[in-house]
Amino acid sequence: MPKNITKYIEIVDDVTEKVQNEIELTRLSIVAEKMNEAVVITDASGKIEYYNNGLVRNSGYTEKEFKVQFKDILHLQNLTSRDDIQEIIDGFKTNPKPFLYDSQHEKKDGSMMWTAASLSPVYDDLNKLSKIIVVYTDIDESKEYSNQLSEKNREITDSINYAQRIQEAILPSKEFFKSFLPNSFVMFRPKDVLSGDFYWVSDAVTSKDEQFLLAAVADCTGHGVPGALMSIIGNNYLRLCEHEPTVNNPAEGLDFINRGVSKTLRQEFAESTIKDGMDISFIALDYPNMKLYFAGAKTTMYVISEKELIQYKGDKHPVGAYVGEELIPFTNNEVNIKKGDIIYLFSDGYVDQFGGLKGKKFMYKRFRELLLSICHLEMDKQKEKLEHVFDEWKGDLEQIDDVCVIGVRVNGKEKKNFTTRELEVLNHLQEGLSSKLIADKMCISKHTVDTYRRRLLAKTGTYNSTELINYCIKKEII
């Protein structure tokens, strides 16, 4: 074919392509002019071939000002706040999927405007990238609302995190719990940052001069913030009942807490349908006489003795329940214990967790079987096993409630019931040192020494230092 004819055909094809592009551009622009959104049409390189009045309007300029201001920078790369816009454009050469992102643009008055940008590639008959259609939707108001919401969320999160630190300060640390009950474990898993479950440990001397080690597990109404507020109220009344003359056993302790919670919440008979309160297990350990006292508000205590699990059910009503116009009293249960027995207190979070192959609840039966299968392990190993089984059961499902389980093994050798620091105080008492001198030697406060001394009296059932030393010598504790 002659060269002049070939060249002519190339020119005709080029003109035809340009005409087709102009026709296509005209058609697209007719649609774009009717849209409220800002619309930009670029060629395959990102050079702007068309923009509608929406883009001019959003910029804050007049049409004449806009043409002057942007005449040398009419490229998509100059209109967006994204650094990777060139990569996006290049990606359209092989990937036809539209690209969405949020973009910021500076207006004439210097303020920033947020838009949601949608980039859609257009291809020619040879499947080659021909144009890019960009639609900018004004999201200034929604972005402002989103920023305000984010700020509020940050404030709320900060408050919740601060409340968590308060709750953690109230809960006994692992070391503190083991200072009372060395052969024990605590599994504590809040559903949220804050927990409606809590645990507690202390010692007390009753008005009858009986000395007990005390422990409790409580499940307050709800979880999260409401549950945490209730847990603080419950924890406060547990502390108060240590020194209350009318409290001489766990049942009287729950009666005291019941009256206190109802008074704090101003919950009277007519308003009892509010159902604010808690389920709680409360025990008192009398080691010298090998007795365990238990009272429960809608809870159950398990004791494993010689590989047999025994259930001790508390009363069926929670703290905060009325009958007629009176608060319902609680029942005290006395249990004989022996060395090797294990006591378990727990909330319902573990057994109510959904999971497994069929997404069902764990249930009490499976929980009892699990405890029987691990009761031969050391207490810390039992905790690890409980946590592992819980995580395996839950899988990818959401944790539905707060979880709290504590286990206490009754020691055979009494020396195992004492911590290293308690034994150190005991040796100094045997030397005849005063609390102040012991405090100086151990680099602790006199108040802390007196706390250790009171705890030693509670663990041995003695009433003064002389009885304490004689008892510990007889039992070969010192």
Q: In the chain, pLDDT over 70 holds for what percent of residues?
A: 87
Q: What is the pLDDT of residue 403?
A: 96
User: Given this model, what pLDDT does residue 5 score?
Assistant: 44
Distances (CA, A) of 289 to 180, 181, 280, 286, 458: 17, 16, 25, 6, 12
Residue with tokens 């000002």: 65
pLDDT at residue 249 in the model: 94
Q: Model-level pTM?
A: 0.65
Give the model's confidence band at 49: pLDDT under 50 very low, under 70 low, under 90 confident, else very high: confident
Residue with the larger pLDDT of the pair 287 and 383 = 383
> What is the CB neighbour count within 10 angstroms for residue 291?
15
Q: What average pLDDT does this structure show over 378-393?
A: 97
pLDDT digits (tens, 9 = 90+) for 203-256: 887 777 778 899 999 998 766 777 888 888 888 999 898 888 889 999 999 999
| Higher per-residue pLDDT: 464 or 304 | 304
258 within 8 A of 330, measured Cβ to Cβ:
yes
Distances, alpha carbon 329 to alpha carbons 238, 272, 337, in Å: 16, 16, 25
Q: Higher pLDDT residue, 78 or 363?
A: 363
Per residue in 94-118, pLDDT tens? 898 999 888 777 788 888 888 888 8
455 vs 372 pLDDT, higher one = 372
Please give the pLDDT value at position 275.
56
- Would you say residue 9 has pLDDT above 80? no
User: What pLDDT does residue 231 have?
Assistant: 86
Contact at 8 Å (CB) between 178 and 241?
no
Say what the pLDDT of residue 405 is: 98
Q: How confident is the model at residue 312 (pLDDT cuts 50, 70, 90)?
A: very high
Tokens of 50: 């068309």
Integer Cα distance of 373 and 361 in angstroms: 19
Cβ burial of 357 (10 Å; 0-12, 13-18, 19+) is: exposed
> How far, CA to CA in Å, does 352 sit from each of 221, 367, 437?
15, 10, 52
Average pLDDT rounded to a whole number, residues 425-439: 90
In this predicted structure, what is the pLDDT of residue 41? 87
With 70 as the cut, is the pLDDT of residue 21 above it? no
- What average pLDDT does the structure give for the chain? 84
- What pLDDT, on the 0 to 100 scale, is given for residue 414? 64
Which of residues 322 and 443 earns the better pLDDT score? Answer: 443
35-39, 287-291, 392-396: least confidently modelled range:
35-39
137-151, 179-193, 288-302, 359-373: which range is least confident on average? 137-151
Flag whether pLDDT at 18 surpasses 60: no
d(CA 303, CA 285): 13
C-alpha dihedral over 175, 177, 183, 189, to 10 degrees?
-90
Which residue has tokens 């905060």?
320
User: DSSP character for 414?
Assistant: G
* Residue among 353, 364, 406 at smallest CA distance from 171: 406
- Give the per-residue pLDDT at 313: 96
- Of 72 and 193, which is predicted with more confidence? 193
- pLDDT grade for 321, boundaries at 50, 70 and 90: low
CA separation for the pair 295, 253 (Å, rounded): 9
47 in Cβ contact with 75 (< 8 Å): yes
- Residues 51-75 have a mean pLDDT of 80
CA nearest neighbour of 452 among 254, 263, 203: 203
DSSP secondary structure string for all residues of 259-319: HHHHHHTT--GGGGGG---EEEEEEEEETTTTEEEEEEES-EEEEEETTEEEEEE-BSS-B
Joined together, the tokens standing for residue 170 give 């109230």
Pick 345 or 433 by higher pLDDT.
345
Range with the poorest average pLDDT among 75-79, 120-124, 140-144, 468-472: 140-144
Question: What letter would DSSP give residue 46?
Answer: S
The dihedral sign for the CA sequence 362, 367, 368, 370: positive
Q: Please tell me whether residue 117 adopts helix, strand or coil conformation.
A: strand
Angle at 159 between CA 157 and CA 162, to 5 degrees: 110
Among 34-43, 320-329, 421-430, which stretch is predicted with the lowest mean pLDDT?
320-329
Calculate the CA 324 to chain-centre distance: 39
Least confident of 64-68, 170-174, 187-191: 64-68
pLDDT of 475 reads: 76
Whether pLDDT at 20 is above 90: no
- Domains delineated in the chain: 3-138 (3.30.450.20), 171-412 (3.60.40.10), 421-474 (1.10.10.10)
d(CA 9, CA 417): 102
Question: Picking from 8-17, 198-207, 220-229, 424-433, which range would have the lowest pLDDT averaged per residue?
Answer: 8-17
Q: What is the pLDDT of residues 391-420, one digit of tens each?
A: 999 999 999 999 999 999 997 556 667 788
pLDDT at 371: 97
Q: Is the per-residue pLDDT at 120 higher than 50?
A: yes
Instruction: Name all contacts of 62-65 with Cβ < 8 Å and 24+ positions apart.
Output: 65/108
Is 267 a residue whose pLDDT tops 50?
A: yes
- What's the sign of the alpha-carbon dihedral 248, 250, 251, 256? positive
**Residue pair 234/218 in contact by the 8 Å Cβ criterion:** yes
CA–CA distance, 413 with 475 (Å, rounded to integer): 9
